[in-house]
Chain A
Amino acid sequence: MNILGLSFYYHDSAAALVQDGKLVAAAEEERFSRVKHDSGFPNLAIDFALRMGGITIHDVDYVVFYEKPFVKFERMLISAMATFPRSSAVFRESMQRWVTDKLWIKSMMSKEMGVPGSKLLFCDHHMSHAASSYFTSPFKESAILTVDGAGEWSTATMGIGRDNKIEIVKEMRFPHSLGLLYSAFTAYCGFEINEGEYKLMGMHPYGEPKYVDKIYELIHVGEDGSLWHDMKYFAYHYSRNSTLTDAFGEHFGRPARDPKLGDKSLDPYYCDMAASIQVVTEQVLLKMIGYLHKVSGMKSLCLAGGVALNSVANFKLLRDGPFEDVYIHPAPGDDGGSVGAAYWAYNHLLGQPRGPALDHAYLGSEYSDDEIRAFLEKNDIAYEYIEDDETFLRFVAQTLADGQVAGWFRGRFEWGPRALGSRSIIADPRKAEMKEKLNAKIKFREAFRPFAPSVLEERADEFFEFPEAQRHFPGRFMLYVTPVREEKRGDLPAITHEDGSGRLQTVYKETNPAYHRMIEIFGEMTGVPVVMNTSFNLKGEPIVEHPSHAFNTFSLSGMDFLFMNNFIVRADAKKKIAETKFNLRHEGDSVTEMVS
């Protein structure tokens, strides 16, 4: 049975194909279209998924959309009514999109794909999140928590998964939302919403959580972790341009940071604010899972939704929360909704048995040696090729050990926002200057942003305070920020963040043998089986998908080597290839887009 899951018309359109319970392909449209956070219909991702499944659209049994547009439309109308006439501008703006695109999703899907309406299904937004996590988890039964900005009405749900069924037992509704609260502080600290949240998270170690109490004055938190916002401080439910009211700035005694400053300065006040909202987020989440643990009686937790990208909070939920085990899907945001929608139909709706757990995120496209060679030769790019893997990987490890920065392009690209050793920029984590070099000359991004370590799973607890690291799936997907062991921080200055933490990725021989072996060799050479890993893209660019993207990004940055499969391209081969698609998008979503 073939089920195609889709998410689009928000940020990060995606398509995923589940064949007989196994997730065989999943990819964001942006990888192919080269438009960062592409929200359009994912034609290219669908083509890719079907190709990977070896089928055509006519072989698909059901196409499942990740949310229910009519219910969301209802929320838009009722919210606009409740705040009329202040909401008239946001209503006008959102309705432009709704009446031209979003309302017609069903007919549009049917037309674009040539699929009859009887094959189209719609899954509730938070059910998609819940399903993406639970049905790809290794758990037979589990508590499920989904938290994001807003779905149709829900902004957070608690559920219980048993075998192939999910039951949602509690929900929190718009406009009260932990995700939107976090986004409000993202805007207050001068970052773009739906874009700058991870910057806020990266900024928090530079501050002190001095304003936690003041933040709690804006909200009421129930014993179950449910939130109630005092809406006089928030404007996202009616304003086009602002998530906050003037009362918000007055409450804290300072206006919002000028967004024009971008990432240019680290004002201690806003760093303290970032630290404070991080603490509040973690405390609310802990309350939620505490309650969920109590009512579900489960030992494990599946986490999903955009808030589950807060890897700092994720680890604290594992470490300080009541659950023995936590699973987070590699794409916990709306892109992952496509996977969830497909699994919801397959397992929950059609009653099919569970498939295997998702132990890796390598679900994207890959390119063979022949294809890479053809690209290099067609474009007259000088290269070297080392046929023997071991020799090649030793060369790569030596290059890193020599202080070079390299682009690493190998195997199927990763599902989700993280680069996990298929489309990565890698460097030596032992050299403190690497962080600045990567930020300034290669990624062209702000200096305070941390880099992640890829560590051999079997040696992770040597370097990180992460007991039994191998057992925890989120580590594979770089979804935990754990403390770097104090005694190892000196060995890993480039990946150790201000507060001594690192967002590690545990690398498994079974799922990415070449990357694992390369790190292993690097460890043999240096004594540190860890490499610095960041996504293979420039700031504002989608992660590379095709060799041409990789070469283009390599050419536009200060990288020293490009490794594609066993091909080596040196810096002196850099050049511009005119026909390669290249767009940079730095802006986030508008407030209207965030809530609609």
Chain B
Amino acid sequence: MRAINVLLSVSISLILAFVVFEFGLRLFPNFRPQEPINEFHPVLGWAKRPHAEVGRSTSEFDITFEINDQGLRCEERTSVAKSPNTFRVMMLGDSFVLGYTVDRKDLFVDHLRHYWSSEERRVDVVNAGTEGYSTDQSVLWFDEFGKAYQPDVVLLFPYENDIYWNGQDHYNRYPKPRYGPDGKLETGKLEDPGQLPWVTRKLATAKLLGLFVQGLSKPKGPPPHFFQPEGASGYVANEFAPLLLDPPAFVADTVARTEGALEALKTSCAEIGARLIVVPIPSESAIHADEKAAFQKNHLKGLDASRWSPDRPVELFLDLAKKHGIETLDVRSTFHARAGLGERLYFEQEWHFNPDGNLALAEFLKDELDARSVFPKEHAALAAGTFEKPATGGGLPTWILVFGALWLALGGGYIATYRDESAPLSFLKVGGLLACIFTIVLGGNSLVQKLPPALGPWLVLTVVTGILGFVVFKMGRRVGTIFELLTAFTLRGHWYLMPLVVVLLTIGSLLVVAASSPLVAPFIYTLF
């Protein structure tokens, strides 16, 4: 029985230590486990999960995806069939179209939907963007599902990395279809790779361990999907090969397959009488000059700037489309103009559009589609349109709800613990402490948001280091006591108590610091 108890409590203490570590790790966005938006699809490789509701957050954005029952990031539709007298625009593409880094209110697809709605046009916009799709998958999705929507206009938004992946039959662990240069689909039914183990999907610690193991088992030579161009001082991802003015040989095959996919889409659109327009998405380095240098430093080490061009993939898509008689739109001049006015159109660290970039693209498309008279007369604008952004929130801000819930829960806990204190006073105390914390956290967050993104993490790091330094300073002589205790327990053979001791010492240290300083006391006392 004693052995079982010891085992049980050691397990609990290990679990406790693990939980602390896991949640600590989750503070770093790169380690935060992410619920996938997609699931395996036997034809497409993968597709968005119907009804999925998934959040994504980094230091630059905090958004939610809501996927409808047809697997689209759109409003629910009662049926795929187009309503009478409705003009339908379908947007095909990858994460740019999906809006991987923005909420729908900031996504160019939805900006257009609102704009046309404000013009009182009966226009329905279908967002068929899917994270990770290359051109071939967008085309195949259109064949499999898109045609049924009977769109009048199809806009394809290819991105530079499509070119390489259009030539591959796998993307990461998922199989994918691809087209041959002749425009024929080469792959049939795909094999389900199955889900990753639960721990890998759900635990930040597993992700860290995975990276550790990956680091240990790093092979000599370029890793898969990397190559080393002549003159480069490091390996370059294959997907950047199309940027080179003198690309490696494998690019020819991927370009040919890209061409095949475009031809297939053209054929499919023609079958249903839809007008196809290709709108290549330029990369950040193609728009912002400073990003070009950064991109070269990070991804094309050692290569002379004259050997590559960030415009090359866009031009390739435009050339291919024109070669096959497909309409195109080139957003670069508009984007350059806005960048010239000092606007940032992409996130600083993330490489997708920020809300300003999405709005810029929406405005460009609105103008160009009007200019090209995409809408027939019966769908002409009846009113002046605006790009009004939808009202934020609607209801109480989240932090007020969190504050209220915490106040109730902690206030109740306080009363239950200190029964001799009056209830109103207890709630007042807890509320005061929470108010201090929220003021500091929200204020700090707001400050970080206002800083250039590159500066924010450093500020946070400085603050955290400062707090840790403060804790160590306040601990003073107790630091020595901690080492003595750990040594004593180790020497006495109680190493198995270490997780428990470490957790207790951590809590103890925080309480000691709280007791010694009114500056940090509100945080720590509220924590406990």
Contact = CB atoms under 8 A, between A and B. Distances in A.
A103 interface: yes
A383 B323 CA distance: 122
A368 interface: no
B501 A77 contact: yes
A95 B494 CA distance: 18
A104 B504 CA distance: 13
Interface in B1-48: 2, 5-6, 8-10, 12
B237 interface: no
Interface in B471-509: 476-478, 480-481, 484-485, 488-489, 492, 494, 497, 500-501, 504-505, 507-508
B500 A70 contact: no
Contact of B507 (A70, A82, A99): A99
Nearest to A100: B511
A76 B152 CA distance: 76
Contacts of A74: 488-489, 492, 494, 497
B512 interface: yes
A117 interface: yes
A107 interface: yes
Interface string A79-90: 011111100000
A99 B505 contact: yes
Interface string B284-327: 00000000000000000000000000000000000000000000
B505 A111 contact: no
A43 interface: no
Given A80-B9, A83-B5, A100 B481 contact: no
A375 B270 CA distance: 112
Given A74-B492, A81-B10, A104 B5 contact: no
B5 A82 contact: yes
A73 interface: yes
B463 interface: no
A104 B497 contact: no
B508 A100 contact: yes
Contacts of B12: 84
Given A99-B508, A104-B512, A81 B5 contact: yes
Nearest to A99: B508
Interface centre among B5, B505, B515, by most chain A C-beta atoms within 10 angstroms, is B5
Contacts of B5: 81-84
B497 to A, nearest CB: 5
Nearest to A104: B478
Contact of B477 (A73, A77, A103, A111): A111
A459 interface: no
Given A85-B8, A100-B511, A95 B504 contact: yes
A111 B476 contact: yes
Contacts of A100: 508, 511-512, 515
A465 to B, nearest CB: 49
A110 interface: yes
A83 B504 CA distance: 18
Contact of A107 (B477, B489, B505): B477
Contacts of A103: 481, 485, 505, 508
Instruction: Tell me the interface secondary structure of chain A in the complex.
Output: helix
Contacts of A316: none
Q: Which residue among B492, B505, B508 has the maximum number of chain A CB atoms within 10 Å of its CB?
A: B508
Contact of A117 (B10, B477, B511): B477
Contacts of A77: 494, 497, 500-501
A70 B508 contact: no
A210 interface: no
A85 B500 CA distance: 14
Contacts of A449: none
A124 to B, nearest CB: 14
A394 interface: no
Nearest to B492: A74
A106 interface: yes
A84 B481 contact: no
Interface in B192-226: none
A117 B485 CA distance: 15
Contacts of B512: 100, 104
Interface string B105-143: 000000000000000000000000000000000000000
Contacts of A104: 478, 481, 508, 512
A77 B9 CA distance: 10
A70 B488 CA distance: 8
A107 B480 contact: yes
Nearest to B507: A99
A98 B492 CA distance: 19
Contacts of A110: 477
Contacts of B10: 81
A84 B8 CA distance: 7
A328 B10 CA distance: 43
Interface string B216-253: 00000000000000000000000000000000000000
A84 B500 CA distance: 13
Contacts of A107: 476-478, 480-481
Contact of A70 (B6, B9, B480, B485): B485
A100 B515 CA distance: 9
A238 to B, nearest CB: 10
A82 B3 CA distance: 8
Given A74-B492, A99-B504, 15 more contacts: A70-B488, A70-B489, A74-B494, A78-B494, A82-B6, A84-B8, A98-B508, A100-B508, A100-B511, A100-B515, A103-B481, A103-B485, A103-B508, A106-B481, A107-B480
14 contacts: A70-B485, A71-B492, A74-B488, A74-B492, A74-B497, A78-B494, A81-B8, A84-B5, A84-B12, A100-B508, A100-B512, A103-B481, A104-B478, A106-B484
The 7 nearest A-B residue pairs measured at CB: A99-B508, A107-B477, A81-B9, A84-B9, A107-B478, A70-B488, A107-B481
Interface of B: 2, 5-6, 8-10, 12, 476-478, 480-481, 484-485, 488-489, 492, 494, 497, 500-501, 504-505, 507-508, 511-512, 515
Interface of A: 70-71, 73-74, 77-78, 80-85, 95, 98-100, 103-104, 106-107, 110-111, 117
